[in-house]
Structure 1
Amino acid sequence: MVEKINATNNRAASEEVTIDVVAQMAGVSPATVSRVINNRPVVSKMTRQRVLEAMTRLNYQPGTQGRPSAMPRMRTLGVVIADIANPFYAEIVRGIEETALLYGLNIVLYDTLDNAEREAQFLSLLEERQTDGLIICASCLPEQRLRSLLREEIPVVFINHLPLSASLGTVEIDQEAGIRAAMQHLVDLGHRRIAFVGGTPGAQIYQRRLATFRATCAEAGMAIPENYVVPGKPTLEGGRETAHELLKSSIQPERAKNAASPTALLAYNDLVAVGAMIAAQEAGLVVPDQLSIVGYDNIPFAGLLQPALTTVQQPARVLGEQAMQLITSYLQAHALPENGPTFVRLTPTLIVRASTAPAPAQ
């Protein structure tokens, strides 16, 4: 390690110091250097110290000095996000912006409000602006239309969306693993009447989560009544509305004898889960004694709710950082990956809290 540092340090004396040089000296990735600079807690003490020592040896200062020499002019990247009001997407954007700053890149943010037509409008607008690259987070457009809107000469990285053949690649959470972990938790608690609420039907991520939900139910021998799958806006109010629709049998006694109420809800995301909690309270149901609820994302205030929300954790900021690394690698090499789109898959974690409990007696 000492010999490697000395050799790198000699080279750095005659070359511009970039974040990549710091990463090479410290034996880490550029994303790790970014986390140290931004004081992220996910870096171990030993790794952080190694990065700081490398920065000191190289006299590295974040900013213009740290921009890769392969990108001399200020470039602009478009970021199409589903809903900036959702804390999950806000964290992704933060990861993108922090990494972009280190590489001297401009970011133009487009918030689609999870609306397919709005997304299509923004993608057309980005073509006119001659954007140097594009990050699309959780597209809600059908794949055929998405292909028709993207030009091959613009490098594209997807977040939580399987890559198209001409794209640089995708960074995603293992959606199937996340849904299976949540469902296994509910099944282990004895739940056999589980509903899936929220989400935009045309979005790929919704289709994948729903397909895994159905497959898991089939494997456990559970039937899924048609009214147990209720799509809707992936927002707090959308969750409240979809849960109200689902729980009508509990609210209206004359319908209860014709339709058994679910004992658990698996929400499309945490905002939907919070809305479902409100709907349950308005229906006179106690969470989790009468109705267990599981979210997806682990947004910052999920653990502060009453009851605290059981949810599937996605490392949102890391998604943004990794997506930016794919874009910057392309801008430096100006070439698509030789073996096709790069696929980075991160593992989700089930966070068990107080919103789930054993199924009530049938």
Structure 2
Amino acid sequence: MLVMATDTVIKLEQVDVEFVEKERAVHAVDHVDLEVNRGDIYGIVGYSGAGKSTLVRLINLLQRPTSGKVTVLDQDLLQLVPAKLRQERRRVGMIFQHFNLMASRTIAENVAFPLKGTGRSKKVINAKVAELLDLVGLADRANAYPAQLSGGQKQRVGIARALASDPEILISDEATSALDPKTTASILDLLKSLNEKLGLTIVLITHEMEAVKQICTKVAVMDAGQIIERGSLLEIFAKPQQQLTKDFIDTTMQLDEALTSVLAQPTVRNLTANQRLVRLTYLGDTTDQPLIATLYQQFEVVANILFGDIQILQDTPFGNLIVVLSGEESNLTRAFDYLDSHNIQVQHIDPKEAR
């Protein structure tokens, strides 16, 4: 009987990683459950020290858990003998923040290194290296050395090397953190392309929600060794539940800066009894509706737009407005009910508390 592979390619069950520091137990990973499905680009975001890099090292057992279960590509890794574990690790590629290239070897030699000792002929290895360098846009730099490349090019070499063993999963551990924004965007575009072309499952470890926003399909937010929130990219951005998640999103969408500027305006400092300062967050088809006109026409509520932004997340419009709504109390109440019924999130902002 043929056994079909499950859609879940990574499953961590109650994994715990405990270190002892100065006679005190520290849980770098605190009894975490995580499932990643085939084809996901799964972002794990958190500040430094949150435990995300330790968590991701469990996926190929570079870090063994103190307790819990690690299943990757239908294999219970903790039950494997060393030789079998080494074999399974080849199915998981990894790229790093600082590239880890060998300075004395050419780009082609760096990419070929994981293929040494695999029994493949030199001709086959050379063909594979050429294919990979072409895939990452470096076909003309095969004979160059790492010192001759830019940071973005070095990371492309790192990606090509990680793909040499034809992995089904690629782990990116802060791989864009050392790069400038333009180069970061190009590397993220490359990763998304590889996900689509190769069916590659990608786990993206980062402290930058901007990177998550650009390419991830699912997100987990980590803090103090725990996953405090998880969901699809759209769910996380549209309806964040935890304050840390909200802080990440507001920083990424530049809403912190916008709100600071808004609160400095005389209009906001001197609100009347019939005025409300609110942030409206809306997703998808809602962004196509004449929202401001509807509030006035149906409820005689006037909206003074102080900040507006619409971005595209996974081909879906995602918008934020900071507005002052003015109208009779009963009309404002009806307007807020209307917004709620149309899945528009309303966050009331008290100018005095927000300063």
- Tell me which structure has the larger Cα radius of gyration: 2
More strand by share: 2
TM-score (norm 1): 0.26
Normalized per residue, the structure richer in helix is: 1
TM-score (normalised: structure 2): 0.26
